[in-house]
Amino acid sequence: MLIGDETTAQQSTLPPNRLMEDKGQESTYPAPDVSLPTVIERTSPIAHKLTTTHSSHSITLKGWTITSTKLPISSSSECDEVAATVGIPVPEMTFGNNSVSIEGPGGWKCVFSTLQALDAVDKTGSHGIKVAYSEQWNRTR
């Protein structure tokens, strides 16, 4: 700890994460019995607040909050739902509920989510997106 650093930690209650928000389905992850978030406020080197839960990490400073959410691999039914929504097959190991959000003063918010990223992929195939070793893999099939 830096000299003059004031640190306080507290537990707070936050609403459970909303998964698959676009469809209106709500699920809680982690399970309700998991411990409450940890909030640490520091004044050095610049005043900021760190919030950590089982599935997310946030930092708030000068009116801005950056949050990353890291959840397990999507189930096959979730992958099927995403594939139907975006109109292309999705990878079997998709982290469909992961996201990064940036919130600013005055309610400004930008969210980067898996669903949005997959929906932005060229669905016509004209741009030729290929994964390394895809040609080799196709030859062995």
SS3 122: coil
- Which one has a higher pLDDT value, 58 or 11? 58
Sign of CA dihedral 68, 26, 81, 77: positive
Residues sharing a CB contact under 8 Å with residue 111, sequence separation 6 or more, in sequence order:
99, 100, 101, 102
Structure tokens at 116: 């949005």
Of residues 25 and 133, more confidence is placed in: 133
pLDDT of residue 10 exceeding 90, the answer is no
Q: How far apart are CA 89 and CA 116, in angstroms?
A: 14
Composition of the chain by helix, strand, coil, percent to 5: 20, 25, 55
Q: How far apart are CA 76 and CA 62, in angstroms?
A: 41
Q: Is the pLDDT at 76 greater than 70, yes or no? A: yes
Average pLDDT score over residue span 71-92: 90
